[in-house]
Structure 1
Amino acid sequence: MKQAIEFLHQKADYLNVGPRKKQPHSSYILVHQGLVLIRLGKLELPICKDQGFWLPSGCLSSVTVLQGSVVSTFDFSVRSSVVLPNCAGYVMPSMLIQGATQQLKQTTRESWDSPHGRLRRCVRDYLATVTPNDKYDAKTMLLAQEIASLETPRNKKRQKDNNNLETTGFSEEQIALQLNIRDCVKKLKSGQKLTKIALQASMPEQELMLLIERTAGAI
């Protein structure tokens, strides 16, 4: 990191499949639109519109940002003199965070001594006072189960009623497609041959590669 606190606001033009790794810094992820999936251990949690999630430094996790999602991220260096939460969990965006994010995404000024820098420090100081919620409520767990069911092979039974998926802004088909592409991307990155992956997906190689490029970009 070049600065003690970095801010990034972006729309995901492509599906972003993050690796499973330990956080080199603490991060607060705020979803404005779409869906972000965060895997902690065996559990993968959905972060939907107007939800935020805290990942402390050293936390073993992977982050998937679905294509078309709009996300703001605050990254905090381990050099920070402020004590930040050391457990992962949901942190709902306060009016302070929402207001700061609105201002920060409208300017490119990165000076630490500018209003831009002071806003970032205000967000850091606020997050130092919160306790991330690692006790996921029933609705969140149900949504996570519904999303996981979309990865179930077609010859297995899926849940028929996925009403909670409406909170993501994506249709069931859109999420299922991106999850399938994510699986293909992971296999490609692990060294599997496209021929084998296309056979498993019951698709011609050229058609599958085109679909991957359209969804996840160049691999």
Structure 2
Amino acid sequence: MNQAIEYSQVEQAHLYVGSRRKNVTAYLIFIRQGIALIRLGKHEYTLTQGTGFWLPFDCLHALTVLPGCRFDKVQFSSRLHQPLCEQAGFITISPLLLALLDELRHTHASPQSNDSPENHLLAVVADQAVQFSPSTRQQCPALPSTLQSVLGEQLQGRTTIASEQVAPVETALGISIKELTACLLIREAQKLSRSGRKAEQIAKDLKCQLDHLQTLAQTLIGREF
């Protein structure tokens, strides 16, 4: 990082499957559109439109971003003097923080310097970050409590969602269960590919037809295995 605090906008055209790693910067992400998934330990959290999430320094995590997702990201360097929160989790996006992020979207095109409008806005964001109280009590704040475990099981590929649960889950996520399942399949395929497996073995391991796998891969990650 060149600056102590940096803002960026991310528009993900294809499925992004991040590796499990510790981040060298603390950062918050705010979902403008679509879905992102963050794995912390054994649990995976679903970020939907309007959701904010905080990841402190040296937090071991894996980030998955589904196609079409747009989000704001603010990174904080260890050079900052503010005592930033050391716990990961969902954060409340206050009206002030949302206004700051909205303004940053408009000023981001200008060069960043110590006296730039963007830097002044980021300093206020840093003040807000000191007050964060992250929570991991829910896996997806957009879902009612009765459906939290249902989504969790779906993300782990352990169960099929009952027909009466499909509509509320799809409404909360903004995508169909079929689309989510396809993304999760290609995510697992990409992990296997990174470990050195060939396409034929990946299809066999995931118990799907090779042609189907390659078609999904071409659509979701822009290439075949």
TM-score by length of 1: 0.89
Q: Once the 2 structures are TM-superposed, how far is the Cα of residue 157 of structure 1 from its aligned partner? A: 4.6
- Seen in structure 2, the aligned counterparts of structure 1 residues 51 and 141 have a Cα distance that, compared at 3 Å, is farther
Structure 2 counterpart of 1:182, from 179, 182, 187? 187
For residues 139 and 25 of structure 1, the distance between their equivalents in structure 2, rounded to whole angstroms, comes to 32
Q: Once the 2 structures are TM-superposed, how far is the Cα of residue 142 of structure 1 from its aligned partner? A: 3.0
Identity of aligned residues (%): 30
- What is the match of residue 92 of structure 1? 92
Secondary structure of 1:70's counterpart equals strand
Pair 1:123-2:125 in alignment: yes
- Seen in structure 2, the aligned counterparts of structure 1 residues 166 and 32 have a Cα distance that, compared at 3 Å, is same
Secondary structure of 1:105's counterpart equals helix
Give CA-to-partner distance per residue, 1:27-80, whole Å, 9 cap, x none: 101011111111010000111111101110011111111111111111101111
* 1:34-183 map, 5 Å: 34-107=34-107, 108-109=109-110, 110-136=112-138, 139=144, 142-143=147-148, 145-146=150-151, 148-149=153-154, 151-152=156-157, 157-160=160-163, 161-162=165-166, 163-183=168-188
For residues 48 and 202 of structure 1, the distance between their equivalents in structure 2, rounded to whole angstroms, comes to 28
- What is the match of residue 33 of structure 1? 33
How many residue pairs are counted as aligned between the two chains? 216
Q: Once the 2 structures are TM-superposed, how far is the Cα of residue 106 of structure 1 from its aligned partner? A: 2.0
Quick check: 169-178 or 141-150, which moved more? 141-150
The alignment yields a C-alpha RMSD, in angstroms, of 2.2
Secondary structure of 1:29's counterpart equals strand
Contact 1:6 1:76 in 2 (8 A): yes
Secondary structure of 1:197's counterpart equals helix
Q: Once the 2 structures are TM-superposed, how far is the Cα of residue 198 of structure 1 from its aligned partner? A: 2.2
Amino acid at match of 1:213: Q
Pair 1:204-2:206 in alignment: no
Structure 1 unmatched ranges of 5 or more: none
- Seen in structure 2, the aligned counterparts of structure 1 residues 164 and 209 have a Cα distance that, compared at 3 Å, is closer
Structure 2 unmatched ranges of 5 or more: none
Contact 2:150 2:161 in 1 (8 A): no
TM-score by length of 2: 0.87
Amino acid at match of 1:56: P
Contact 1:27 1:54 in 2 (8 A): yes
Quick check: 92-101 or 159-168, which moved more? 159-168
For residues 157 and 98 of structure 1, the distance between their equivalents in structure 2, rounded to whole angstroms, comes to 36
